[in-house]
Amino acid sequence: MKRTSISLPLSLFALGAAVTACGGGSFSSQTADITGDFSVSLTTGSNACEFTGWTVGSVAMNVPVAIAQQGTSATATVTGLAAMLLLDAVLGTHEFQGTVSGDSFALTAFGSTSLKDGDCAFTIKATMTGSISGDAIQGQITYTETTNGNPACGYHATCSSVQSFAGVRAPSDDAG
């Protein structure tokens, strides 16, 4: 089966990277505060989904991501124009939503953009997981494809492509 060419530039995935963060010590019972404006770098890893334009080992730097948090719920918004436009085109959104637990969190962007490869129809889902220590975040973004269940989907139903990320936010004012 010939795969439909889907060109996903690194900067598109960079936005998702900044969204995932965790904070605090691994034995903390408190929910970390991951709120802030982050500058994130992404390193592209394995590409089992065969995204066109995905170069293993390539790096995108200084991708701006804004994270808002209320209790254990968090929303990350990619604010860099290039990454935002690419995410909107490929996923249908540039926002990731999820939860914070202790010093870790997981945020997901459920794609709504319909893509096709022959009789296989699918969308892309991006899931970010990570941790925070002080003002630094690190983690991984995993991209998977949600198919229509057609037997022609083959590897689309089980593939995943991965990026690692690391970033920092401006130090918070905790005076008081």
Give the pLDDT confidence of 71-123 residue by residue, as tens digits.
999 999 988 887 778 788 888 999 999 999 999 999 999 999 999 999 999 99
Q: Are residues 87 and 15 in contact, defined by beta-carbon separation less than 8 angstroms? A: yes
Domain membership of residue 15 (yes or no) is yes
Domain membership of residue 174 (yes or no) is no
**pTM to 2 decimals?**
0.81
Whether residue 13 has pLDDT greater than 50: no
Whether residue 18 has pLDDT greater than 70: no
Domain membership of residue 38 (yes or no) is yes
- Name the phi and psi angles at 17, rounded to 5: -65, -40
As for how many domains the chain has, the answer is: 1
Top-confidence residue, 19 or 109:
109
**DSSP H stretches of helix in 45-154:** 81-90
Domain membership of residue 98 (yes or no) is yes
Domain membership of residue 95 (yes or no) is yes
Per the structure, the complete domain to which residue 47 belongs is given by: 10-24+31-166
Give dist(CA 1, CA 39) in Å, integer.
Answer: 39
Which position has the token pair 């968090």?
74
pLDDT tens-digit profile of 123-174? Answer: 999 999 999 999 999 999 999 999 999 999 999 999 999 999 999 998 766 5
